[in-house]
A = this chain, B = another copy of it.
């Protein structure tokens, strides 16, 4: 990049878990990637004192409480939305209207309708040279990027089975208190949107295929939970002791579907798989090769090459920590593993590069909308005794 390029001003809206993770990525992206320079302008949050403290801690020049004012500032070029899902559409549409580039956390929205409105807003903004992405961060894990490359290179061939799961266990205890994540009006859905959106995006991204039809279901195991303190900063919260409140989202969701290339897809997500803290797995079985990925060991991908001599075939554990692997060479010498948050740094590096180059940014709003449609189809099938439904094209 030319030294004279002016820096891009960034504002992050939200200072909780995602705000912290995004702040980390903005603070570090320039130290590792040769992307356009950015400035950490403003951290926005509802609670002024908390926003100010977070801004100081996370390296922001200022804090603010009203996002509407921030999207009007000339020195802010990127609006990065880490607010709750129900607010994504309003903020993103306004920011796009104000001429800003936009990042929204996943899932893109809490309804297909909102996602459609966002996509329309982006279509207009795109014509004006603006960029927008939905932050499906797992695409940017080096092992996932290597898997994508192997698929593109034809090493897997026609897909027969894709099996994906995202399992957590933080709701197993019936005393885990009620929180916004368990209310449909705030979160949109439960495990389906939170975890299922990752799986749907990863599957369609990796395979470059769409999901054409599916049968699915939803389950809420514990239908009432105590209200109580979940303000300890953790997702789980400490044991609630207040009056019971009805859980209005799913604890688990599943689908079995068909890929546009003819393969079969199986998905399952849950917050009730005791012992699984954050285990996302994806297995792809093709005609020529197979691939396995597990988020618990995110520096690895396992590759079965069906073209090896038959005596020597086996799943190969590729440690994706070498300089010729995607992204990872930017960090440390060969053999040093990276962590979960590094994918955010990669995502932002890609986003900044696409802005600088004027190339399309991804994961696009169109892709985010597509994920939303699949999630809606799972809800539709669940409401129809799991009967197979066609996913809108």
Identify A386's interface contact among B17, B235, B256, CB under 8 A. Answer: B256
Q: Is A264 an interface residue (CB 8 A)?
A: yes
Please, which residues of chain B bring their CB within 8 A of the CB of A185?
none
Q: Is A272 an interface residue (CB 8 A)?
A: yes
Q: Is the CB of A318 within 8 A of B324?
A: no
**Shortest CB distance A157–B (Å):** 9
Q: Is the CB of A335 within 8 A of B160?
A: no
Please, which residues of chain B bring their CB within 8 A of the CB of A336?
278, 339-341
- Among A256-305, those with CB < 8 Å from B are 256, 262, 264, 266, 268, 270, 272-279, 285-290, 295-299, 302-305
Contact A27/B28 with A21-B332, A290-B275, A332-B341 known, Cβ cut-off 8 Å:
yes
Q: Is A319 an interface residue (CB 8 A)?
A: yes
Q: Is the CB of B272 within 8 A of A160?
A: yes
Closest residue of B by beta carbon distance from A317? B314
Kindly state the separation between the CA atoms of A375 and B219 in the bound complex, as whole angstroms: 23
Please, which residues of chain B bring their CB within 8 A of the CB of A146?
311
Q: Is A31 an interface residue (CB 8 A)?
A: yes
Kindly state the separation between the CA atoms of A221 and B325 in the bound complex, as whole angstroms: 29
User: Oligomeric state, in number of copies?
Assistant: 4
Closest residue of B by beta carbon distance from A289? B274
Q: Is A9 an interface residue (CB 8 A)?
A: no
Q: Is A68 an interface residue (CB 8 A)?
A: no
Q: Is A342 an interface residue (CB 8 A)?
A: yes
Contact mask A69-111 → B, CB, 8 Å, 1/0?
A: 0000000000000000000000000000000000000000000
**Shortest CB distance A371–B (Å):** 21
Please, which residues of chain B bring their CB within 8 A of the CB of A341?
331-332, 336
Q: Is A306 an interface residue (CB 8 A)?
A: yes
Kindly state the separation between the CA atoms of A273 and B263 in the bound complex, as whole angstroms: 11
**Shortest CB distance A294–B (Å):** 11
Q: Is the CB of A321 within 8 A of B57?
A: no
Contact mask A131-153 → B, CB, 8 Å, 1/0?
A: 00000000000000010011000
Q: Is A163 an interface residue (CB 8 A)?
A: yes
Contact A277/B160 with A215-B386, A285-B272, A338-B340 known, Cβ cut-off 8 Å:
no
Q: Is the CB of B28 within 8 A of A28?
A: yes
Contact A334/B235 with A28-B24, A289-B274, A310-B324 known, Cβ cut-off 8 Å:
yes
Q: A residues engaging B (CB < 8 A)?
A: 17, 20-21, 23-24, 27-28, 30-31, 57-59, 146, 149-150, 160-161, 163, 165, 167-170, 172, 215, 217, 219, 221, 234-236, 252, 254, 256, 262, 264, 266, 268, 270, 272-279, 285-290, 295-299, 302-306, 310-319, 321-325, 331-342, 384-388
- Which 4 pairs of residues, A with B, have the shortest CB-CB distance? A278-B335, A277-B335, A275-B304, A339-B339
